[in-house]
A and B are shown apart, each in its own frame.
Chain A
Amino acid sequence: NSKVIQTPRYLVKGQGQKAKMRCIPEKGHPVVFWYQQNKNNEFKFLINFQNQEVLQQIDMTEKRFSAECPSNSPCSLEIQSSEAGDSALYLCASSPQGGAYEQYFGPGTRLTVL
């Protein structure tokens, strides 16, 4: 069973509002990923970190999305100005090492933008 913790489980925001979600990776896992899963079950990679450093991020993340993984604090993903199309399940995953290795998902934060 995954030991990745995500909060909150559900988040409801109005358009234009900020939406922030947090993730605590599994202990000992230095690599953290954020994915978006939409209602059609399509996954979109957003950003990943190794320790506190960004490894890779997509354009969407570079514009309205911000994310960080500070040392000794939860990782976070924040949408600066929510849009209806951002409604989705946001999944955090952690991995025991960089490169192509197993990723374990947390329970997710389901965001609804009204």
Chain B
Amino acid sequence: QQQVRQSPQSLTVWEGETAILNCSYEDSTFDYFPWYHQFPGESPALLIAIRPVSNKKEDGRFTIFFNKREKKFSLHIADSQPGDSATYFCAASGASNNAGAKLTFGGGTRLTVRP
């Protein structure tokens, strides 16, 4: 059972555009939603995260929009730069995972920013 779905699988934008990556989840007990990016040959790095008490979280060019009713959240990357080209993963964790609070990951979006 895939609990976190991510789309699109691949996204290409021009430098300066806003890239929009989408995720949805099924488990209503999830209460922590991070985004990671992963460059080739490296491990995932935490980018930004949100909890359902908020519907928006900003950090520089990166913004998470969260819709609890629809169980959806998205990452917006404003003014995309070629250096943002990477694979982005959304994830979720929460009380349903017992005390361990493991992350359940989406399938990833491969973002390419063309100069």
Contact = CB atoms under 8 A, between A and B. Distances in A.
Which of A1, A43, A56, A93 gathers most chain B CB within 10 Å? A43
Given A43-B105, A100-B31, A100-B94, A48 B100 contact: yes
Interface stretch (A13-21, A71-79, A101-109): A101-109
Nearest to A50: B99
B109 to A, nearest CB: 10
B99 A2 contact: no
Contacts of B95: 100
Which of B30, B95, B108 gathers most chain A CB within 10 Å? B108
Given A41-B107, A43-B103, A48-B100, A102 B45 contact: no
Given A43-B89, A56-B99, 10 more contacts: A33-B102, A41-B107, A42-B105, A43-B105, A48-B100, A50-B99, A55-B99, A98-B100, A100-B101, A101-B32
Interface of A: 1-2, 31, 33, 35, 41-43, 45, 48, 50, 55-56, 89, 91, 93, 95, 98-108
